[in-house]
Chains A and B, each alone.
Chain A
Amino acid sequence: MQTMDANDTGKAADSLPRFAVVGHPNKGKSSVVATLAQNDSIAIAMEPGTTRDSHRYPMKVDDVTLYELIDTPGFQRPRKLLAWLQGHSLSASDRPDTVAAFVNQHSDDPRYHDECELLRPIVAGAGIIYVVDGSVPYNREHEAEMNILRWTGRPSLALINQIGSDDYSADWEAALGQYFQIVRRFDAVRAPFEKHLDLLRSFGELAPKWRETLDAALEYLQALKFGRDHQALEQIADALIDMLGHQETARLGEHQDGRPLLPQLRQRWQAWQREREQRQRRAVEDIYLHRRLQREESDLTLPDESDLFSERTRQLWGISKGQLAAAGFGAGAVGGAGLDAVTFGHSLGTGALVGGLLGAAGSYFYSDKLNKVKVGPLSGGFREAVYGPLKDPQFAYVVLGRALVHWYQVSQRNHAGRDVLVVTDSDGHWLDVLSRGDRNGLQKSLQALARRRFDPSKRQRLIEQLELAQQAFAQWQLEQFKG
């Protein structure tokens, strides 16, 4: 339970934008706060309608609070409260004081505990965010609540949250417009990040003195989002570097055959890959503050059918042989063009042609090539059997495609979401969105990863290539959504 201190009152407190999110029980107040505060623990913790104490969620930049959201309990006895207020007020001018008097008088009354909790921050100067459910028809039973809020005299905004599938937002908008300065629609679970910023911008419109602070806060939030996207990209890049270059080794006697070790090494290699992939998933979820996320990836629950290494997964997330050959052709042609440049064009372009053909042939050949155990030279009476790295170019696209799908879903997910994150399949391919040049660049970067010793200086280049892939993927997703 939050208690008021002396600092909460007066001008100092008034200058800090505070917003009490209030409403009828179970209309999504906590969901709105969970999304705006990016705190998934709120949504997980609550049983509908059980919030009893108000909770504060300050938005801080380097420990300086820019604004504060206050999640409050729902109205329990609005009609009695309104009757009390009406019975103690002489004129419209004393209404805010009458509300404050109610809070003072009933602060120890367990029957009005919830009302006191929700009104206390408002009396102390917080703006009002009144949340209703736009999926149920408007009815007048909320009018007592709205009247009470009007009595406080505080700047107020009504938020039409969409909980169910029906839409009565228009009716709500018309009714709420009579009580509140601003009316906005906001789907706490599905609204994209830009809508969060729009909503916070609307909060700034409630009082001119809050606008500047909120604008600054929005800039920080925007930068935070970009920063997180980049951090996620670095996690994906590091996972790719690790996974594509990974080897499993075992010791062999001088005359021991390495072939029987293949299944064991292959199994160890796959287990390692899966563990590394899961580590990358958790890291990305942590970056976006989804700490209580439940995830379900189809391949892990269906190991026979859609496993990371199954043909179906390759078809879904990798690129087709044709696309791979085309990408290889492009990459080879670049090399061939380099030959032309060195010979000052005396090869008359045949360098590019030959390079392209070799690249295409190589890609096509490797796309089906299985990995084998390699046995190293004798050293100290032993030889080393090595499995990996996998030279199949499709493998890189499998890993990258899955990582991007997961990243996109996590980055777009609101913290009010309580459903299990299902990393779904898709029937198209995002690579088509990339330009030919970018596709070749990506192909070269990914191919470099399969070399045994990845040059750390190429990591930055890889991240730049992946950034383009990330943008292409997001664009492709958007097009899929529109389609």
Chain B
Amino acid sequence: MSRALTRLLDFDDQYRRDQKQDQAFLHRRDRRFAQQQQEQGKPLSVPAWLQALHALNDQRRDSGPDVRLRRWRQARWVFAGLGAVLGAAFMLGLLVYDGGRQINLTLLMALVALQCLLAVLTSVQAWLGWQPWRGLFGAQADDDPLASLRPALSARIAHTGGLLFAISGLLALLVMVVVQDLAFGWSTTLQTSAEGYHALVSLLAQPWQTLWPEAVPSQALVSASQFYRLNSEGAVSDPALLGTWWPFVLMLWLSYVLLPRLVLLVLAGLQVRWQARRALARHPGYAPLLYRFETPWVETRGEEEAPRAPAEATVALSPLPASSTLIHWAGAGMRSGAVVGALSRGPGPRQLRAGGNSTLEQDAEALREAGQRREPVILVARGWEPPTGELSDFIMDAREQWPAGTLLALVPLADEEGAALTDRGLQAQWQRFVERQQDSHLLLCAPEAQSDNTPVDADHGR
């Protein structure tokens, strides 16, 4: 089987394997191959690509033919064997000569013409892609890469059988010529003169007229060879003369049976190769492969981030301690009366500001002032913004400056109007922040609804 077929099947196999890979991988792999070939001045071709992939995957091709081609190969052998047997049988049957009457050249020529016609029809059918015998192969797989090549492959098999038929027929003819005294003659019901018949055989003998003049029957031979079955007395004056037809018969068989089969077999082989190449070029994996060869590999993705699950945190909100000291971190909720009302005990709470656009000196002043009040401090922050290092530093500074045991209630808000944070993710973020501070007097609290505002004693929250 031709290399083009093996290549097509090999390509199809690789295409199926590649379908399990992602496009990025394929592009990188094939672009790299294309660049390497270019750098080394080697051709960029599908066979080279397949070879490189086989080498990389340490794949060794089986010594035998592809299993999908085995059926076709077996069919070819069967047809060849059948052709050889039938060819010999055909010729022996044709040349049976019992001395009763001559071997009819007209019949022989008609059968040669039939052989020639069958050969041509086989090729035409293959070129047209007509498959009247399709049912013989059973159900055809949807994804058979050889589907479009079936007519050509079948024609090649038929021509192989035909060629063996012609060769064995030729050999049988030669054997019969050697071992028997064949006497050829011509007979027809039609009113044909010997001149007319001579013109016909001369026309048929045109191809070898100059090559082998002895194989062109003369007018005298034609006239002497006509016979009528009823004319039992019409004995031939020179029986040896009738045997001189054999070179003509030999060349007739060679030129109109064997040679056409040989030529058409070669053409069928070329057709298989050409169609295999065409099938490869039309293969759904071919254009994408060329695209991957030609197109630079563009990578923007960089490193892959592994999904990071945040550390587990069980949100434990503490009751809001009673306090009238509020520190608004970065001004969170400072202008909202609702926030102040919900967080502080009693009218006129002390509202301090730190972080954000305050200076570090202002932060220090807010700390000093809050510490002087000797009561729990409520630190209000924007819950939707992640707590920063500055907030952490502020809490640490507070702990250093304030009297020991001063409660600090951290209250992240859901909005500037003082709504409690309900988003579990954000709550967990603040819970983790509180845990990182490792400060037992730091509480995570939520603003209470104003109607339910029943501040707890300082110790209650512990």
> A residues touching B (Cβ–Cβ < 8 Å)?
25-26, 36-39, 41-42, 44-50, 55-63, 69, 74-80, 83, 111, 114, 139-141, 143-144, 220-221, 223-224, 227, 230-231, 234, 238, 242, 245-247, 249, 283, 286-287, 289, 291-292, 377, 379, 384, 453, 455-457, 459-460
With A75-B388, A286-B22 given, name 5 new contacts (CB 8 A).
A25-B386, A60-B298, A141-B356, A144-B357, A459-B282
B300-321 contacts to A (CB < 8 Å): 300-308, 310
Contacting pair B388 A456 (CB below 8 A) = no
Contacting pair B307 A45 (CB below 8 A) = yes
Tell me the complex Cα distance, A366–B356, Å.
Answer: 71
Contacting pair B385 A26 (CB below 8 A) = yes
Output the nearest chain A residue to B143 by Cβ-Cβ distance: A242
B107 sits at the interface (CB 8 A): no
Contacting pair B389 A287 (CB below 8 A) = no
- Collect the chain B residues with CB atoms within 8 Å of residue A83's CB: 360
Tell me the complex Cα distance, A377–B136, Å.
Answer: 12
CB distance from A136 to the nearest CB of B (A): 9
Identify which of A44, A246, A292 contacts B142 (C-beta below 8 A). Answer: A246
Output the nearest chain A residue to B307 by Cβ-Cβ distance: A45
Q: A76-B388, A79-B360, A456-B148 are in contact. Are A60 and B299 (CB under 8 A)?
A: yes
- Collect the chain B residues with CB atoms within 8 Å of residue A50's CB: 308, 310, 386
Q: With a 10 A CB-CB cut-off, give which of A58, A221, A292 has the most chain B CB atoms.
A: A58
- Collect the chain B residues with CB atoms within 8 Å of residue A38's CB: 300-301
- Collect the chain B residues with CB atoms within 8 Å of residue A111's CB: 389, 393
- Collect the chain A residues with CB atoms within 8 Å of residue B303's CB: 55-57
Tell me the complex Cα distance, A143–B22, Å.
Answer: 46
Q: Mark B378-397, 1 if CB is under 8 A from A, else 0.
A: 00000011101110010000
Contacting pair A47 B310 (CB below 8 A) = yes
CB distance from B36 to the nearest CB of A (A): 12
CB distance from B82 to the nearest CB of A (A): 22
Contacting pair B302 A224 (CB below 8 A) = no
Contacting pair B288 A231 (CB below 8 A) = yes
Identify which of A37, A77, A139, A144 contacts B389 (C-beta below 8 A). Answer: A77
Tell me the complex Cα distance, A459–B284, Å.
Answer: 8
CB distance from B148 to the nearest CB of A (A): 6
Q: Mark B88-113, 1 if CB is under 8 A from A, else 0.
A: 00000000000000000000000000
Q: A79-B359, A143-B357, A379-B138 are in contact. Are A56 and B389 (CB under 8 A)?
A: no
B348-374 contacts to A (CB < 8 Å): 355-357, 359-360
Q: Mark B113-157, 1 if CB is under 8 A from A, else 0.
A: 000000000000000000000010011101000011000000000
Interface CB pairs A-B, < 8 A, 25: A37-B302, A39-B301, A39-B305, A44-B307, A45-B306, A45-B307, A49-B386, A57-B303, A59-B300, A60-B297, A60-B300, A61-B297, A62-B35, A62-B297, A77-B393, A79-B390, A80-B360, A140-B357, A141-B356, A223-B295, A227-B291, A227-B295, A230-B291, A245-B142, A291-B22
Q: A39-B305, A47-B425, A77-B393 are in contact. Are A249 and B139 (CB under 8 A)?
A: yes
B429 sits at the interface (CB 8 A): yes
- Collect the chain A residues with CB atoms within 8 Å of residue B331's CB: 139
CB distance from A366 to the nearest CB of B (A): 22
- Collect the chain A residues with CB atoms within 8 Å of residue B356's CB: 139-141
Tell me the complex Cα distance, A439–B433, Å.
Answer: 61
Tell me the complex Cα distance, A55–B306, Å.
Answer: 12
Tell me the complex Cα distance, A448–B356, Å.
Answer: 68
> B residues touching A (Cβ–Cβ < 8 Å)?
22-24, 31, 35, 135, 138-140, 142, 147-148, 279, 282-284, 287-288, 291, 295-308, 310, 330-331, 355-357, 359-360, 384-386, 388-390, 393, 425, 429
Q: Which 6 A-B pairs have the closest CB atoms?
A: A49-B386, A76-B389, A57-B302, A45-B305, A141-B356, A140-B357
Tell me the complex Cα distance, A56–B23, Å.
Answer: 23
Contacting pair B296 A62 (CB below 8 A) = yes
- Collect the chain A residues with CB atoms within 8 Å of residue B299's CB: 58-61, 63
- Collect the chain A residues with CB atoms within 8 Å of residue B384's CB: 26
Contacting pair B390 A80 (CB below 8 A) = yes
Contacting pair A61 B298 (CB below 8 A) = yes
Output the nearest chain A residue to B297 by Cβ-Cβ distance: A62
- Collect the chain B residues with CB atoms within 8 Å of residue A44's CB: 305, 307
- Collect the chain B residues with CB atoms within 8 Å of residue A453's CB: 140, 147
Tell me the complex Cα distance, A289–B388, Å.
Answer: 33
CB distance from B395 to the nearest CB of A (A): 13
Q: A25-B385, A238-B284, A245-B142 are in contact. Are A77 and B300 (CB under 8 A)?
A: no
Output the nearest chain A residue to B134 by Cβ-Cβ distance: A453
- Collect the chain A residues with CB atoms within 8 Å of residue B308's CB: 45-47, 50
Output the nearest chain B residue to A245 by Cβ-Cβ distance: B142
Output the nearest chain B residue to A384 by Cβ-Cβ distance: B139
CB distance from A432 to the nearest CB of B (A): 31
Output the nearest chain A residue to B147 by Cβ-Cβ distance: A453
Contacting pair A234 B304 (CB below 8 A) = no
Q: A234-B287, A377-B135 are in contact. Are A289 and B35 (CB under 8 A)?
A: no
Tell me the complex Cα distance, A44–B309, Å.
Answer: 10
Q: A26-B385, A220-B296, A456-B282 are in contact. Are A76 and B291 (CB under 8 A)?
A: no
Tell me the complex Cα distance, A413–B2, Å.
Answer: 48
- Collect the chain A residues with CB atoms within 8 Å of residue B300's CB: 36-39, 57, 59-60, 221
- Collect the chain A residues with CB atoms within 8 Å of residue B135's CB: 377, 379
Tell me the complex Cα distance, A41–B279, Å.
Answer: 40
Contacting pair A141 B357 (CB below 8 A) = yes
CB distance from B127 to the nearest CB of A (A): 15
CB distance from A339 to the nearest CB of B (A): 22
Output the nearest chain B residue to A377 by Cβ-Cβ distance: B135
Tell me the complex Cα distance, A37–B384, Å.
Answer: 26
- Collect the chain B residues with CB atoms within 8 Å of residue A144's CB: 357
Identify which of A75, A79, A292, A456 contacts B279 (C-beta below 8 A). Answer: A456
- Collect the chain A residues with CB atoms within 8 Å of residue B22's CB: 286, 291
Tell me the complex Cα distance, A479–B264, Å.
Answer: 60
Tell me the complex Cα distance, A55–B308, Å.
Answer: 15
Tell me the complex Cα distance, A290–B148, Å.
Answer: 36
CB distance from B288 to the nearest CB of A (A): 7
- Collect the chain B residues with CB atoms within 8 Å of residue A384's CB: 139
- Collect the chain B residues with CB atoms within 8 Å of residue A287's CB: 23
CB distance from B223 to the nearest CB of A (A): 53
Contacting pair B298 A234 (CB below 8 A) = no
Q: A220-B296, A286-B23 are in contact. Are A55 and B302 (CB under 8 A)?
A: yes
Tell me the complex Cα distance, A143–B305, Å.
Answer: 31
- Collect the chain A residues with CB atoms within 8 Å of residue B147's CB: 453
Tell me the complex Cα distance, A292–B22, Å.
Answer: 13
Tell me the complex Cα distance, A128–B303, Å.
Answer: 21
Tell me the complex Cα distance, A289–B304, Å.
Answer: 12
Q: With a 10 A CB-CB cut-off, give which of A56, A242, A456 has the most chain B CB atoms.
A: A456
CB distance from A235 to the nearest CB of B (A): 9
CB distance from A327 to the nearest CB of B (A): 26
Contacting pair B429 A61 (CB below 8 A) = no
CB distance from B385 to the nearest CB of A (A): 6
Q: A47-B429, A77-B389, A231-B23 are in contact. Are A57 and B357 (CB under 8 A)?
A: no
Tell me the complex Cα distance, A63–B35, Å.
Answer: 11
Output the nearest chain B residue to A238 by Cβ-Cβ distance: B284
Q: A141-B330, A456-B279 are in contact. Are A289 and B301 (CB under 8 A)?
A: yes
CB distance from B320 to the nearest CB of A (A): 25
